[in-house]
Amino acid sequence: MADRKSKSTGKGASPAAPKRKAKAAPPPKAEASARSRAAVARQAKPDLAAVRTQIDGIDREIQALIAERALWAHQVGKAKGKLAAAIDYYRPEREAQVLRRVVDRNDGPLSDEVLVRLFREIMSACLAQQEPLKIGYLGPEGTFSQQAVQKHFGHSARGLPLVSIEEVFDEVAAGNADFGVVPVENSGQGTIQSTLDMFLTSPLKICGEVELRVHQYLLSRTGHIEDIERVYSHGMSLAQCKNWLRHNLPGVHKEAVSSNAEAVRRAKKSDDAAAIAGENAAHVYGMQVVAGPIEDRSDNTTRFLVIGRASFPPSGNDRTSLMVSIRDQPGALYRILEPLARRNISMNRIESRPAHGALWQYAFFIDVEGHVDESPLKDALAEIDDFAGDVHVLGSYPVAVP
Ligand SMILES: O=C(O)C(=O)C[C@]1(C(=O)O)C=C[C@@H](O)C=C1
């Protein structure tokens, strides 16, 4: 395996290119790659030292390419002109496109999810060359919200743990955080009403969504299930593990607290208490895993929204969240939905919440496919606007990549 450093010729790069100039690598030939994979698979008992030499060579190439990519990403920064801060360089639509291509190219053996995670980390590190993004989330450390931040923005972003969903909105609106990540719904438990209600008055935009597979673990100081007399967790997590708790800890006292991390903090104080939280919290707080995963549904997933102060262009596969307040007249909701249906625009979700300041009036939260700057959604919205009341676009954003 050749060392890429010796391959870099510097020819053909623009004057503004990085010092160690990149020669565009030829796209890997699918056939050759399939042949070499087959050759690897045929080796019944490969020689360990020889295999490690192969891996060392590949690592050298990967490292050189990552460094080269980082230099080019820095060039992108310069191409965008002199900007004030990291947030000005962040491009969620471009990141989504890069990740979708990673998924399209993937033919194993690693899963899409694993490859996307690796590429997100690379982009996160590339962006942090300017300055790390600061992301507010519902803390403390060790919550699923923190995991959602890391999944979406990578580990080079700086997490800012905050005490409530309201505070996440406030800190982003005040400019103390670049973006915020807030939970909005769980596959089994439904909507997190407090998040939706914030949009009734907040000027912030939805800039992205994150889907996080949520695995719950029972954690305690001793690690022995027979010691447990009390279980703490966030109400949502207790609900997600209801059947497991009924079968495995019947008669044990369950108590809902403000977050899973708070539950772990309490459980850490005595041997007869336990907490339900993510496995990550066991490492953060030095607890033993008693059992897990213990969620009742194996597809237990929480969807988070990324909130920010700006809107971004289309990525090619986008979703738009709308907040609509209808006039009090017959068929008003139908007249909002009809222009969407007529244009074959899929509606992913509709939810009503009591509107602020008006008794028995409701705001409808509607998620549809498409971006507000593109037809057919743009045309449908123009038509709805004409008669239905207030249509407020909460944001158009890339559909979550796994
Ligand atoms: O393409 C860009 O606009 C970049 O800034 C580069 C890059 C990347 O590493 O690919 C980095 C950060 C942006 O959020 C999007 C992509």
Of 102, 120, 127, the residue with max ligand 1 atoms within 8 A of its CB, to mutate for a pocket test, comes to 127
Q: Look at residues 145, 188, 191 and name the one whose alpha carbon lies nearest to residue 307.
A: 145
Q: Which fold has domain 309-398?
A: Alpha-Beta Plaits (3.30.70)
Calpha distance 107→111 (Å, rounded): 9
Lowest mean pLDDT among 50-59, 227-236, 302-311, 328-337: 328-337
Q: Identify whether the C-beta of residue 228 lies closer than 8 Å to the C-beta of residue 272.
A: yes
Q: How many residues does the chain have?
A: 402
The phi, psi pair for 398, rounded to 5°, reads -65, 140
The better pLDDT of the pair 308, 39 is held by: 308
Pocket of ligand 1 (CB under 6 A): 73, 76, 89-91, 94-95, 98, 123, 126-127
Read off the pLDDT of each residue in 8-22 and give the average, rounded to a whole number. Answer: 39
134-214+301-306: CATH topology: D-Maltodextrin-Binding Protein; domain 2 (3.40.190)
Higher pLDDT, 385 or 139: 139
- Model ipTM value: 0.97
Over 90: is that where the pLDDT of 280 sits? no
Identify the residue whose tokens are 């719904």. Answer: 185
State the Cα–Cα distance between residues 370 and 345, nearest whole angstrom.
8
Give the global pTM: 0.85
How much is the pLDDT for 181?
98
- The bridge status of strand 179-186 relative to strand 134-138 is parallel
- Give residue limits of the domains in the chain: 1-21+46-82, 134-214+301-306, 217-291, 309-398
Mutate to test the pocket of ligand 1, among 72, 78, 94, 135 (most ligand atoms within 8 A of CB): 94
Distances (CA, A) of 103 to 30, 117, 364: 15, 11, 34
**What number of CA atoms fall less than 13 Å from residue 313's CA on the CB side?**
5
In the prediction, which pLDDT does 24 show?
Answer: 46
Query: Which of the following CATH numbers is that of domain 217-291: 3.40.190.10, 3.40.50.10860, 3.30.70.2610, 3.40.50.300?
Result: 3.40.190.10
Query: Using an 8 Å Cβ cutoff, are 148 and 154 in contact?
Result: no
Cα separation, 47 vs 51, whole angstroms: 6
Fold agreement (217-291, 309-398): no
For residues 40 and 23, the model is more confident at: 40
pLDDT of amino acid 380: 93
CB 136 within 8 Å of CB 168: yes
